[in-house]
Structure 1
Amino acid sequence: MNLFNDRLKQAFKNRSVLKVITGIENTKISQIVKIAEASKLAGVTYLDVSANVKIVKALKSSYDLPVCVSSINPVDIYNCVVSGADIVEIGNYDVFYREGIYITVEQIIGLFKEVKSLIPNIDICVTIPYFLTCTEQINLTKSLDLLGVNIIQTEGMSNVKYIKPNTNKCNKDLVCLPNSFIPSLFSTNILSNITKVPILASSGFKNINSPITKLYGASGVGISSALKQYDSISDIVKYIIQTTGSLNITDSIQSIDTPETQNDSKLRSYPLIKR
């Protein structure tokens, strides 16, 4: 595991990461601060926000939470790091999917190289696009691993309307499943077997299904849409605590030393595909 941020390193080592996403298009400071306050009280690992200098400065001046900025604009990413961002993410592509824009493998690798050259000592997370075939996801992850990526994130599809044209039938059947978290789980299971880079699962996860991510090889989970139904800080805190509690229950289940696991330390419960 190659992480610069010590707080993140410990959380990823414990496979207990909970990231709260405020939204790549959300620039309402008051709303973001409310989520940040709840996240601090509930013990969230880090926040994921829009690559906006004002947002980063507002959060870093008031909270001791690591802040991640998401963008595909290297200049915005660099400016946010200068302003105090702790982590950067090349991802959150939904805004582009709505416009019919689908980033290519070559573009992702090019972006990573450019961002890495600008901020060589900052942890970089890259989201693997849902619409790539399994082989493409594996090859991209291997390439990013060799280039020094720190975190990999998987995604599902938030809206079937945004499916990439000309997607092959097999892949289309998977990404069009009614629950957007299922493709993310599928990718997490596959990629966790070919890289030691920690993986975050994201897209459609809630307090009740977040624990599943760890069973499929994730080191943590990102939640966002599930929080939008709550207005008060206390309600958001309760929901986040429920999520962290469910993740801890998964740890308890995995720690049970059964006869089946005594002879195979690498066995992971309920794999999506056979090893």
Structure 2
Amino acid sequence: MANSSLSLSSLSLGGPRAVATTAAWQDARSSSSFFHCKSPASASKFGGSSLMRSSSSRGINDAKMNGVKARQPLRVTAVSAASHREFVLKDFHARRALKIISGLQNFNSDSVASVVTAAEKGGATHVDIACDPELVKLAISLTRLPVCVSAVDPEAFLTAVEAGAHMVEIGNYDSFYSTGRTFSSEEVTLAESLEWEGVDIIQTEGGTSSDPSRPGVHGLIEKAVPTLAAAYSISRAIKIPVMCASGVSIITAPMAIAVGAAGVGVGSAVNKLNDQVAMIAEVRSIANALGLPSHASKTNLAAAGV
């Protein structure tokens, strides 16, 4: 599995999410191999899990995941572009990834464009959008950052990857908790199994399951407790990078790194703002808190070929 690139993310009440870079996904179309991703799955008391895979990944046939049968087939194949994989994963390996999320169910092109622009100009390292080929084309026209697409149906990824998405992510049930979806407590074991199969990243979530008792900084910390606890627990059980998302803010982003995360995913702190300048400022503030270079610095480094 030396060439595989698969990432698992953990949600407080969620199932596995798969993310794949486009190179492998395109290769997958000519392969008979399948990666089997579990549909709404288990969650630990600290958090659930989402699975991510880069599209430069090798196919996995009938992953056993500690005896848990997978339900949804996600088609992937042999690695064809190590440089593509590095483009997607380098900031996770540097433990400073900042993924700005427009929303799993946000198909409004104007809203997505605003979030992507804020991510680009604010100094983020990745953007995460709904799984839609037209949104992918829009995103890659606005940013040079790796574009991740999220969905709960792995079969929806093909057209998004064909449109240019760099990663695919399945298993984010954060927006479905209010419908009554609940999960069992197998996430750490599942994370260990998927790491063995070639997973690259585990993303922890859980902000929607917390209910802060106080406003202000105290409330922001309370809201992030589930995802921080999951990151702490899971990062000590596996060797691949762990990413915190859901309930993360400028206050808690550095805490995520301190407890063992390799990066953070930020959604509502940015996408709920109505002003483009405010969005950019929020992304910039979180990027600064993580020690990321400014957009201007990135532009200068790119121009210098660094």
Instruction: Answer yes or no: same fold by TM over 0.5.
Output: yes
Give 1:1-275 correspondences, 5 Å limit: 3=5, 4=56, 5-102=85-182, 132-133=184-185, 136-159=186-209, 179-248=222-291
- Cα distance in 2 between the residues matched to 1:55 and 1:90: 17
How many percent of aligned residue pairs carry the same amino acid?
A: 32
- Cα distance in 2 between the residues matched to 1:206 and 1:178: 9
Q: Secondary structure at the match of 1:23?
A: coil
Q: Secondary structure at the match of 1:222?
A: strand
- Cα distance in 2 between the residues matched to 1:61 and 1:52: 14
Residue 160 of structure 1 deviates from its aligned partner by: 6.2
> How many residue pairs align between the two structures?
204
- Cα distance in 2 between the residues matched to 1:22 and 1:91: 16
- Cα distance in 2 between the residues matched to 1:178 and 1:17: 20
- Cα distance in 1 between the residues matched to 2:173 and 2:263: 20
Q: Secondary structure at the match of 2:165?
A: coil
Alignment check: 8 A CA contact 2:174 2:206 kept: no
Residue 248 of structure 1 deviates from its aligned partner by: 2.1
Q: For residue 154 of structure 1, what is the amino acid of its counterpart?
A: T
Residue 53 of structure 1 deviates from its aligned partner by: 1.5
RMSD of aligned Cα (Å): 2.3
Q: Secondary structure at the match of 1:98?
A: helix
Alignment check: 8 A CA contact 2:121 2:280 kept: yes
Q: For residue 83 of structure 1, what is the amino acid of its counterpart?
A: A
Alignment check: 8 A CA contact 2:206 2:227 kept: yes
Q: For residue 147 of structure 1, what is the amino acid of its counterpart?
A: E
Q: Which has the higher contact order (CA 8 A, sep 6+)?
A: 2
Q: For residue 58 of structure 1, what is the amino acid of its counterpart?
A: L
Residue 34 of structure 1 deviates from its aligned partner by: 1.1
Q: Secondary structure at the match of 2:290?
A: helix
Q: Secondary structure at the match of 2:179?
A: coil
- Cα distance in 1 between the residues matched to 2:149 and 2:271: 19
- Which structure 2 segments of 5+ residues have no match? 6-55, 57-84, 212-219, 293-306
- Cα distance in 2 between the residues matched to 1:207 and 1:199: 18
Residue 96 of structure 1 deviates from its aligned partner by: 2.9
Q: For residue 32 of structure 1, what is the amino acid of its counterpart?
A: V
Q: Secondary structure at the match of 2:264?
A: strand
- Which structure 1 segments of 5+ residues have no match? 103-130, 162-176, 250-275
Report the TM-score, using the length of structure 1 for normalisation.
0.68
Report the TM-score, using the length of structure 2 for normalisation.
0.62
Q: For residue 106 of structure 2, what is the amino acid of its counterpart?
A: N
Q: For residue 158 of structure 1, what is the amino acid of its counterpart?
A: T
Change (3 A) 1:229 1:21: closer
